[in-house]
């Protein structure tokens, strides 16, 4: 099973990359788009393309890592919030959260005379927007954690521990540890959505990163009638970096979930039995 996971990730990457790249080049006939795709895919490995894309990918990866880390902290803070409130947070539309994040940033920055494009207030604006976008992700992770904690508290091992005199606080601490893998797995599942949301923010607010490169390339796509060149290779490389980052962090999240799981692994149990 493990040997097939890298192939599955590669297939997911190629499928998403092809669908986005071919679908976005709408001004080119479909047969021409399909014929040009292999060259555009392989072109991301050209040295000049890598030199341009890798530093931007590092920036976007930092944004995404910060967003996921913030979602982890928020999920921990939201762990004791009532489920109805978490359901509301989980269902908030992204555009409302984006407006809220931008509004909070402008409320702080405009009175101080800070303005677009990139000035000293950019990190603050980015932090506020990432916080707003991370709220639904954190709410989903908190709901999954609450559910897993409840199951652990009602499980046989918790009842046995209480019967043997283990303090309730210790039982709850162990149940919380059992629920941590659910939080990590939930955040891993939202990595792609958060990466795409952050790429939109990069483009709209002109933060440096591969998301901004995608935004600039798309401007050339939709303004083709004005004679602006379409950076197909730049778009291909930026999309590849963006999807690669999302899949990388999703894989890290799943690995972290497996690592945090206190239950014995099947392979380890079998090895101990053989010994």
Q: How confident is the model at residue 275 (pLDDT cuts 50, 70, 90)?
A: very low
Predicted local distance difference test score (pLDDT) of residue 89: 83
Structure tokens at 65: 């890592």
Predicted local distance difference test score (pLDDT) of residue 226: 45
Structure tokens at 21: 């790249």
In a domain, 158, yes or no: yes
In a domain, 217, yes or no: yes
pTM of the model: 0.75
Asked if pLDDT for residue 267 goes beyond 80, the answer is no
In a domain, 170, yes or no: yes
Question: Rounded to an integer, what distance in angstroms lies between the CA atom of residue 163 and that of residue 141?
Answer: 31
Predicted local distance difference test score (pLDDT) of residue 113: 60
Predicted local distance difference test score (pLDDT) of residue 112: 61
In a domain, 67, yes or no: yes
Helix H, strand E, coil C: the string for the chain is: CHHHHHHHHHHHHHHHHHHHHHHHCCCCCHHHHHHHHHHHHHHHHCHHHHHHHHHHHHHHHHHHHHHHHHHHHHHHHHHHCCHHHHHHHHCCCHHHHHHHHHHHHHHHHHHHCCCCCCCCCHHHHHHHHHHHHHHHHHHHHHHHHHHHHHHHHCCHHHHHHHHCCCCHHHHHHHHHHHHHHHHHHHHHHCHHHHHHHHHHHHHHHCCCCHHHHHHHHHHHHHCHHHCCCCCHHHHHHHHHHHHHHHHHHHHHHHHHHHHHCCCCCHHHHHHHHHC
In a domain, 16, yes or no: no
Work out the mean pLDDT of the chain and round it to a whole number: 78
Range of the structural domain that residue 243 is part of? 38-221+230-261
Residues 104-121, mean pLDDT to the nearest whole number: 59
The CA–CA distances, whole Å, from 162 to 41, 154, 159 equal 58, 11, 5
Q: Is the dihedral of CA 138, 139, 142, 144 positive or negative?
A: negative
pLDDT in tens, 183-242: 898 888 888 888 888 888 788 777 888 888 887 777 766 555 444 434 678 888 888 999
Structure tokens at 273: 């039995």
In a domain, 27, yes or no: no
In a domain, 161, yes or no: yes
Predicted local distance difference test score (pLDDT) of residue 160: 82
Q: How many CA atoms lie within 13 A of 181 on its CB side?
A: 14
What is the CA 7 to chain-centroid distance, rounded? 21
In a domain, 191, yes or no: yes
Q: Residue 72 sits in a domain of what CATH number?
A: 1.10.3720.10
Predicted local distance difference test score (pLDDT) of residue 57: 92
Question: Rounded to an integer, what distance in angstroms lies between the CA atom of residue 21 and that of residue 17?
Answer: 6
Predicted local distance difference test score (pLDDT) of residue 41: 86
Domain count, the chain: 1
pLDDT in tens, 129-175: 788 888 888 999 999 888 888 888 888 878 888 888 888 888 888 88
Residue 239: closest CA among 78, 40, 93, 75: 40
Asked if pLDDT for residue 274 goes beyond 70, the answer is no
Are 28 and 225 spatial neighbours (Cβ–Cβ below 8 Å)?
Answer: no
């Amino acid at each position: 099973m493990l040997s097939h996971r890298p192939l599955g990730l590669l297939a997911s990457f190629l499928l998403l990359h092809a669908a986005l790249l071919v679908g976005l080049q709408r001004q080119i006939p479909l047969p021409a788009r399909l014929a040009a795709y292999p060259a555009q895919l392989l072109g991301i490995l050209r040295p000049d393309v890598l030199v341009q894309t890798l530093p931007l990918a590092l920036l976007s990866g930092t944004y995404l890592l910060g967003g996921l880390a913030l979602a982890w902290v928020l999920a921990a803070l939201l762990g004791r919030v009532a489920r109805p409130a978490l359901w509301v947070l989980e269902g908030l539309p992204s555009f409302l959260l984006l407006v809220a994040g931008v509004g909070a940033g402008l409320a702080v920055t405009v009175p101080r005379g800070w303005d677009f494009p990139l000035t000293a207030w950019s990190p603050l604006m980015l932090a506020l927007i990432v916080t707003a976008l991370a709220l639904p992700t954190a709410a989903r992770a908190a709901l999954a954690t609450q559910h897993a904690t409840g199951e652990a508290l009602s499980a046989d091992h918790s009842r046995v521990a209480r019967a043997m005199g283990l303090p309730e606080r210790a039982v709850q601490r162990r149940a919380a540890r059992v629920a941590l893998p659910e939080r990590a797995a939930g955040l891993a599942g939202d990595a792609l959505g958060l990466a795409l949301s952050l790429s939109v923010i990069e483009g709209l607010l002109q933060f440096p990163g591969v998301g901004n490169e995608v935004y600039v390339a798309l401007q050339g796509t939709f303004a083709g009638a004005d004679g602006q060149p379409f950076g197909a290779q730049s778009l291909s490389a930026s999309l590849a970096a963006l999807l690669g980052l999302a899949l990388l962090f999703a894989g890290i999240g799943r690995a972290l979930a497996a690592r945090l799981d206190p239950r014995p692994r099947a392979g380890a149990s079998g090895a101990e039995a053989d010994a």
